[in-house]
Chains A and B, each alone.
Chain A
């Protein structure tokens, strides 16, 4: 770092004042690490069918299975060790959330900034479409698209992107529209620099703060949406269960008191989503000039 506190350091100083937000950030980082190193820390590879034994299925937490180790959180209907399945499920949920988040961010931001820069017909067309979509519930849109495209990771991400890019487009448009009229953009456009370069190098960085906030919230939303779709049976194939799929698998057994199959993956999901949202909330408060003392 250069001499004197950098912007990042200042940002962190303010962020770390909120202890709950710090805790949430730690939780998010730990969850990402668990997902990254799932293969190393899991007692079992839940995707390897040779590892699974039906004799171990639906066992309560603390059961010592045929593998010779304790299933701390019990097992699911396929005889998977739930703890391992949760680590691997986290991996899929986070993957999907990040992928959908970044693709929607790219598409939405591009559309929003283009609409603000080009103006006229293009602006009207893009923003009308975006507004129309925003008035339509994301869950319904994602549901229909998944139903039409079929199951699979790419299709699922496609559906989530289609349901969520509009939020980014709206935000980017709002920010870019405000920047568009400012002198520095006019000045940069008057130079021989290409418009693309001006938008990329000058416009985009100034539109970033609100986009970061929307991105955090939308990643959490993607994860939650994916879980919901999986729960409704429209998500990923059963062989590689995400958290939502694990919850869905356990649902029929809940009535007979085998709560752990649904509850523990659900707890992991909730902790992840709530933690991301708290981090997002804090970042938004810090970016919001109206809340500054």
Chain B
């Protein structure tokens, strides 16, 4: 088990190193950021001074090593545009994104798994067929379009829910959160539904496929023969057996939802990290772009690492396979 953990850890560190190189050179090697930072009518001295101050006059590899050294000390640079530490900038926006993503993914999982198990348990009922038809839509319809329709229907047509912004917030541990207030909740509702819909479709499909497969296995036959009630079988055996792929997907989705939040946050003017990155791309604020990508990469690598570990804990075949 320990060998397995160490092996995976070294892999994760390797991936992070490669990602940092790709992201850094990808973002810095193209175009000239100095044109954005200083006004076009600035004198040559100001221009050179700014280039020196930002360290843009040194060779690229040297900039990379400076960046890497700073990175390891937790310094991701300063935003060209906001002129404040990038980490602080992103950190300030993170709670908004986090609460949106968590609410979406958790509700999508709970609802999706329940609906999926039902659809897999009674595949021929019309309810199941409806669930599956809707899930196909959730898969193929682009999420920005769903967001638009949600706004059009609930905000413009019915006027029930606000179309954008965070609403009232409450300070908890020095951080502003929307979910504890009613007004804040009404602001979260539409973007959360928007973000959750795609995940919901995926969870339904996953749970249904798993249920259909497992209901045919000997485990279930024997459990039935032993006289266990259907509810017990579903809860104690089925749920446990389908949980492995669901945990994997839950973890991965947490990461990819952060990425998808870019779209949702833009539509609903939700002041989170996703909107920040879109704005930064528009003005080529490189430190913010680099920092965001590095953080997302870090998040993905961490999630993958944790999933591998959880896998190994749940399923002994995984860790035996690795040590063999």
Contacts and interface: CB of A to CB of B under 8 A. Distances in A.
Interface of A: 132, 135-137, 139-140, 143-144, 147-149, 220, 224, 227-228, 231-234, 247, 251, 254-255, 257, 259, 262-263, 266, 269-270, 273-274, 277-278, 281
A254 B324 CA distance: 61
- The secondary structure that dominates the A interface is helix
27 contacts: A132-B18, A135-B304, A136-B300, A137-B255, A137-B256, A137-B259, A137-B260, A140-B259, A140-B296, A144-B289, A148-B30, A224-B142, A227-B145, A228-B143, A231-B263, A232-B263, A232-B266, A232-B278, A254-B148, A255-B163, A262-B148, A266-B145, A266-B148, A270-B141, A273-B142, A274-B137, A277-B140
Interface in B109-126: none
Given A262-B152, A270-B145, A274-B140, 5 more contacts: A135-B255, A140-B262, A144-B27, A231-B263, A266-B149
What are the 9 tightest A-B residue pairs by CB atom distance, in nearest-first order? A137-B259, A147-B281, A140-B259, A277-B140, A137-B256, A224-B142, A231-B144, A274-B140, A148-B30
Contact of B142 (A255, A263, A269, A278): A269
Contacts of B256: 137
B151 A148 contact: no
B262 A139 contact: yes
A255 B149 CA distance: 12
- The secondary structure that dominates the B interface is helix
Nearest to A254: B152
Interface string B127-163: 0000000001101111111001101100110000001
A202 B184 CA distance: 61
B46 interface: no
Contact of A144 (B148, B155, B293): B293
Interface string B228-267: 0000000000000000000000001001100110110010
A229 to B, nearest CB: 10
Contact of B263 (A136, A139, A255, A259): A139
B263 A228 contact: yes
Interface in B33-82: none
B290 to A, nearest CB: 10
A135 B26 contact: no
